[in-house]
Amino acid sequence: MAVHEELQAILEEQESMMQIHELTPVEARGQFNDSIDVITSHVNVDEAGGLRDVMTTGEYGEIPLRIYYPDTEMERYPTMVYYHGGGFVIGNIGTHDHICRAIAKESDCAVVSVDYRLAPEHPFPAAPEDAYNALLWLVENAEPHNLDAERIALAGDSAGGNLAAVTAIRVLQEDGPKIASLLLFYPSVSGEHDFPSVDMFAGGYGLSLRDLEWFMEQYADGEDEDNPHLAPLAFERLGELPPTHIVTAENDVLRDEGEAFAKAIAQKGGQVSLRRAEGMIHGFLHWTRAFPEVDEELLAALEPVKDVLAE
């Protein structure tokens, strides 16, 4: 299926922009922030039922978190911990604010967005350390924030999908908190980018191969590509992950590795579901509330997680 007409128009507009790999990290962040500002200025951003900005403390250091509450009144909210995308280099709580608001509204879950440290100032393993420590702090401090520590899902897009998977892996390795479900949008999960979709979409459908390589150079240059904290596909115990739902974009360099991750989980006896978002490109969640086709994909992705958290 061809790229959705609205997204194709956006790709054509982006042709005049500097490519990520041509910029410094600071410039890349500025360009990304500006592009998100343009998107959100043209959409109806959801009103949160409640919102809190908090900071983790103590042995976990300071990690900014933003908690979004749904409109539904509950004594304890099932909780989705969300890790934003951006190649481990760009993005923050603000760039994914409208996405998290939509997830909270549509899922009847509290959403906790994690502002983990970014590369190259803080290369691997800073981001996965923050991702895991934020989870530990959240479980220990769930009660005063009306969160249910027994009903937690991990979610993320792109690099954030990587961090959600890595956090679930570390939970298994360290006998950490109970995780009810995983939701991964077009995740980066492999240390080797040699899948057919890489060749098909290398020129850039939301993410070019050169940009992907640039992100990894900033984040984990020279690191072991078989380290499961970097490349979750290399983890030997994938069948022990919590119920996992993976959403890939049809037109995306990362499509095939995300689908290979789903296949590997299934082959090792895990519970996994996979949805390929037809006509979509990498990063399509950023157009949440802008195009009905994107909203439909988000709603479909949330259903299996809502079912698990409702149990």
CATH class of the 5-310 domain in this structure: alpha beta
Catalytic residue among 107, 113, 158, 181: 158
| Active-site residue, 273 included | no
pLDDT(236) > 90:
yes
pLDDT (tens digit, 9 = 90+) per residue, 259-292? 999 999 999 999 999 999 999 999 999 999 999 9
CB 242 within 8 A of CB 170: no
Does residue 304 register a pLDDT over 80?
A: yes
Min mean pLDDT across 13-27, 153-167, 218-232, 280-294 is at 13-27
What pLDDT is stored for residue 250 in this prediction?
97
Kindly report, residue by residue over 123-171, the tens digit of the pLDDT: 999 999 999 999 999 999 999 999 999 999 999 999 999 999 999 999 9
Instruction: Give the span between the Cα atoms of 279 and 2, in whole angstroms.
Output: 6
pLDDT tens across 28-65, in order?
999 999 999 988 887 888 888 899 999 998 777 899 99
- Spans of all domains in the chain: 5-310
| pTM of this structure | 0.96
The SS3 call for residue 248 is strand
pLDDT (0 to 100) of residue 1: 57
- For residue 308, what are its two tokens? 């698990």
